[in-house]
Amino acid sequence: MPQLTVSDLNVRYGRVIGTQDVSFAVDEGEIFALVGSNGAGKSSAIKAILGMAHYSSGQIMFEGQNLAGLKTSEIVRRGIALSPEGRRVFPQLTVEENLRMGAFTRSRDEAQERMQQIYRYFPRLKERMKQHASSLSGGEQQMLAIGRALMSRPKLFLLDEPSLGLAPIIVERIGDVLDEIRREEKLTVILAEQNAHWAMHLASRATIFELGRSVNTGQTEALLQDPAVRNAYLGV
């Protein structure tokens, strides 16, 4: 059984379509990419999973349990976390304080232990632990957003546009760390990305979003060879 199953998901914002009959399934321990242009529906799907966007119809099942009607805080306690688009760190809090904000489901001792693990994944954050988040570079803020989400020890980690506005070398480093964390913690990752080339080389499977619909799902190796995908998303 897949760890997460999204079936016929319909998200609306008034008359605006967020997603339209979107379906996909994600297996435990894999990196799964949602690929598409800005406004294609990726973020709407991510927000619906975490209970941050209302869906008029459809079903989201996580580890055999229906997530419908649950508050975001309850979904986080069940083992799902989000690193949001735009990072959204707390600028006037220090790196350490930002990380602690992500550990509201954990005891103080658990949070302290987890913080040391996050510093091992992102040594730069340890160097900056007493600095305000506003003083960090864009790449460092993205590391902090990822670290803050991971403080809850999720089973399923959602990332929304983590490469946005970052230099390629920083994007590659973040990808390497994500893969390391996935392997060490048996973490499942859903990556919503416009950077199709990076996302589909990092993920094992992907679904392509267009105008709120999931139009093509499969192994990334096969999708990367698809002429339509290459022309639309890879520029070749």
Q: Quick: pLDDT tens for 208-232.
A: 999 999 999 999 999 988 888 887 7
| Closest to 8 measured CA to CA, from 68, 60, 51, 54 | 60
The sign of the dihedral angle between the CA atoms of 90, 91, 96, 99 is: positive
CATH class of 1-79+154-236: alpha beta
Q: Quick: pLDDT tens for 179-206.
A: 999 999 999 999 999 888 899 999 999 9
The model carries a pTM of: 0.90
User: 3-class SS at 42?
Assistant: helix
- How sure is the predictor about 235, in pLDDT bands with cuts at 50, 70 and 90? low
pLDDT at 145 over 80: yes
Residue extents of the structural domains in the chain: 1-79+154-236, 86-153
Backbone angles phi, psi at 161, to 5 degrees: 55, 55
